[in-house]
């Protein structure tokens, strides 16, 4: 990946990925889905950094979320990567299950 294609992950996005991975390890009791989830995240981010306009624009009440987009995690389509394009790539803000109350999460 060249310097032009950079992924910046916010701490909340890192926590979201870790929380979901822990769920698969502890609740499901198998490392297989956890490993597949992490691999799917990486593949999705590589695709988005090369094509940052893929996901639909999302609008929430906060002005600091301008330009926010979402895209499903490949193979885990109910999980969404919330990101925004930057000059050098993408900025990943959250990775959340789509059934969550996204308005409440992003309007906090």
pLDDT one-digit tens code per residue, 30-39: 789 999 999 9
Domains of the chain: 6-106 (3.30.2310.20)
Q: What is the mean pLDDT of the chain?
A: 88
Six token digits for residue 34: 């956890």
pTM of the model: 0.88
Backbone φ and ψ for 15, nearest 5 degrees, come out as: -65, -40
Pairing outcome for strands 6-9 and 89-97? parallel
Short-list 44, 81, 85, CA closest to 67: 85
Considering only CA atoms, which of 104, 38, 93 is closest in space to residue 71?
Answer: 93
Tens of pLDDT, residues 64-97: 778 899 999 999 989 999 999 998 899 999 999 8
């Amino acid at each position: 990946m060249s310097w032009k294609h950079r992924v910046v992950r916010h701490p909340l996005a890192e926590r979201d990925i870790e929380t979901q991975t822990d769920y698969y390890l502890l609740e499901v009791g198998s490392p297989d889905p956890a490993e597949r989830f992490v691999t799917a995240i990486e593949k999705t981010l590589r695709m988005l950094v090369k094509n940052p306009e893929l996901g639909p624009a999302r609008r929430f009440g906060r002005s600091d979320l301008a330009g926010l987009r979402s895209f499903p995690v490949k193979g885990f389509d109910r999980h969404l990567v919330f990101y925004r394009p930057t000059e050098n790539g993408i900025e990943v803000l959250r990775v959340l299950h789509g059934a969550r109350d996204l308005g409440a999460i992003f309007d906090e």
